[in-house]
Amino acid sequence: MQFAWGNLQALMQNFTIGASPEFDFCAYTICALSSPASLKSCTYQNAGYTITLEVETINDNGVTRIKHASPYVGKASGGVTPTPHGGSPGTPSTDSNFQDLVNKMRAADVDRAQPSDITIDWGTKLMKEGKASKSSGPLITYVNEQLFQRPVYSKLIAIYNQSLFVPNVCTAEMAVIGFKKAYLDDYLKTLTNTSVFQLAYNYLVSKGVASSDFPTFYTQLFNLWYGTYSRCSSNLGSSGWEHVYSGEWKGTEVDGQHNWVRYYLLQKAGLIDYQGYYSHEGDLIGTWEYSWNGYKKAKGGFFLGTSPAFDLSIFTTCVLTQQGASKCAFTIDGAYNIYITSYDQSCDAGSCLSTSYPSDTP
């Protein structure tokens, strides 16, 4: 539901109606303590309805505290941004056609970095979230920057260089019009013209979630990624694209930031302090801790070396067909298990991406 409280607006908030305070207190407490993950998803039945509680916790010097708790019916509210490794996994897809799609997309990703194009140094192995005491050196120690001359990279970097987005989620973004819209439209068209994305698009059409008329679908896709909404009070300071591809600052934390190119450029500029890793699958994906310009990412991760076109294609496919906590599950190269969490939410353009990110564990 949406409502106003004084000068503030709740664009999309949920709560149970008629439940006693002690019921809500007990239910949220049980859910919060049900798993060591930072984002828990707990389901129960009430009067024939399936109710899911979404509870986000933080570790405060060894003490588990609830950061956010809300119920929803059917799908995520979008009122809280999932964090890496959060939530109980949904039921992974058993659709063999989806795994076939991933295999074909991986083979078609001609713009991805080859092993000789990128070098990863995982550094210090971390055992407890938020307990890193010193820097671990850079995560990405080498990139063949000739890659960045390719349009899927150069146009992404042009958006970064133009500072089209403001990291602070409480600062309203400038409208997606004129100069800004031209950059974003050109970039999205570049990605959708790749073989990788066309494979994803044909799959989405076959599943009935995308129009067979591509211009119609393109409008939906543009709104999905670039439509704006609020993660702070009533300011329209966020979008799915900014959250995933650029990253945001929320309070003292990094929110989102699920793109290796962005991370590498920030690292190169001296703005990243890498603390170490929790887990990883080869040099394709992992979970690690770092700070960006003083803002903390206690647990974050993204694909390493994949092209921006591959990332956008798989994230779009997952949010439109298998959204939920770790629900979009598949393997890459027959060896690496990947779990993608994705949600959409209401926004000024209708339905927008709230988050989509990969993990090496459910």
Is pLDDT of 336 > 70? yes
Q: Do 354 and 247 have their domain in common?
A: yes
Q: Do 138 and 14 have their domain in common?
A: no
Residue pair 345/224 in contact (Cβ under 8 Å)? The answer is: no
Q: Do 232 and 288 have their domain in common?
A: yes
In a domain, 83, yes or no: no
In a domain, 149, yes or no: yes
Q: Which phi and psi angles does 196 have, rounded to 5°? A: -60, -50
Q: Do 337 and 220 have their domain in common?
A: yes
Q: What is the mean pLDDT of residues 129-144?
A: 81
pLDDT of residue 214: 97
Q: Which amino acid is at 213?
A: D
Q: Do 199 and 276 have their domain in common?
A: yes
pLDDT of residue 17: 82
Q: Do 296 and 186 have their domain in common?
A: yes
Q: What is the mean pLDDT of residues 124-131?
A: 77
Q: Which residue from 34, 93, 113, 32 is spatially nearest to 339, judged by alpha carbons?
A: 93
Range of the domain at 42: 3-73
In a domain, 85, yes or no: no
CA distance readout (Å), 334 to 81, 99, 106 = 30, 10, 11
In a domain, 311, yes or no: yes
Q: Do 100 and 66 have their domain in common?
A: no
Q: Do 32 and 106 have their domain in common?
A: no
In a domain, 87, yes or no: no
Kindly report which listed range (27-41, 75-89, 143-157) carries the lowest average pLDDT score. Answer: 75-89
Q: Which amino acid is at 340?
A: I
Q: Do 51 and 194 have their domain in common?
A: no
Q: What is the mean pLDDT of residues 283-300?
A: 94
pLDDT of residue 14: 67
pLDDT of residue 76: 37
* Domain C-terminal end among 73, 105, 125: 73
pLDDT of residue 49: 63
In a domain, 90, yes or no: no
Q: What is the mean pLDDT of residues 145-169?
A: 94
Give me the residues paired with residue 250 across strands. Answer: 253
In a domain, 41, yes or no: yes
Q: By percentage, how much of the chain surpasses pLDDT 70?
A: 83
Mean pLDDT of the chain: 85
**pLDDT for 188-227, tens place per residue?**
999 999 999 999 999 999 999 999 999 999 999 999 999 8
Q: Do 47 and 111 have their domain in common?
A: no
Residue pair 227/352 in contact (Cβ under 8 Å)? The answer is: yes
Q: Do 68 and 101 have their domain in common?
A: no
Q: Do 69 and 114 have their domain in common?
A: no
CA distance readout (Å), 329 to 94, 278, 309, 334, 362 = 9, 20, 19, 13, 9
In a domain, 263, yes or no: yes
CA distance readout (Å), 177 to 174, 181, 184, 194 = 8, 5, 10, 25
Q: What is the mean pLDDT of residues 146-161?
A: 97
Structure tokens at 70: 């809300």
How many domains is the chain built from? 2
Query: pTM of the entire structure?
Result: 0.74
